[in-house]
Structure 1
């Protein structure tokens, strides 16, 4: 499959994109109009190369941008506008190097735990070797549904939970874990945050409170947010607000297209 992105160091191109035909974001990038697009054939859930974690042509370019953001303490948002875009899979693949380097990664999963592990495998991540060492997961889905997997390195909040109680228990967990591990920096991954609309009565309020906790931690963090817009449209505004870089994934005429819609000018 062909998957190409061409980077230009000399041209400055301003991109306008529209949300709900009412709100316009003016963004700046050093990419030409043609350079902003990453094309390759749409692949299915069962594509063998995806499951085995093989790298597609040009994918290194996208991963390089995400990897650089991890070093700079930036936030990257992945917004899939189509269910079959799967842009979050190559984004997850960018975690491989920091995992192998021993950097701490904290994943907040809003989907069933087995869905997370399945996508880790598709991304080619050896997550089992790192769980409980430098990879930790908060199973939000399991917490809200009272399902405890018992997997080492996976945390479930027990007892009664509503939106506010969840935040309070999450704060305590984070404080205890940071005190125990004492990391210099952490990569925080929001796995399919669109799942918040199914788990919380007020996902917007919950999202705001969760980001307040991030600021309270006083630990250097970088982040990766993955999100499927059709599942929770209300959160898109916050993905753009909190992210330093945003990539949108769409499917048009049998092609998957990834568009860089937000980025700094440095």
Structure 2
């Protein structure tokens, strides 16, 4: 059955706003959906008028609570995740990250607990990372509607950041399918040489993937502790998800 174009655009917009709880500019939303700014603005005005979206004082847009996302989701995620992240770091002695999608095809780290070891992986919370070659990014892309992750992978030129980076769209599509099947995503030296990791999904009370919990490690240690680190990430992400559920999120 063919889609009604206008209805499909509204649904794409709602799905995009739900997957990106932080307020976004008109330009960012239009670029993510591959739509003209004028058309995107009309769609946003309609959602705002019906109470599904809100416009902030600095001229950004977010989904309202009635559509499944609130303005303080990042804060609620941190509150649910930080105790779990601290416990996980103490057990595995590696850096723990919590991240969400930003601008459609990048990952923003909301929180981190850095490894106590002298040789460790660290990350700048203010830096946006590409989704296609990071564990958190692949995990989050894999749980987007197909139209959205295809735009993220096919709508831009993907650059090889290391000799190991996968940039072929067909290969990445197969990787995302495997992520959905396994329930976690791993990366080995595809974003930065010497760095590897695993990410698992954090889900809200409605079963939607809203963040990724990541164990980031020096590659040599990840190779030796792979199964233990994967299990640790999956179990910790489930704990964070339960805390979100208990908080009614």
- TM-score, normalised to structure 1's length? 0.29
The structure showing larger relative contact order (alpha-carbon pairs under 8 Å, at least 6 residues apart) is 1
Q: Greater helix share, 1 or 2?
A: 2
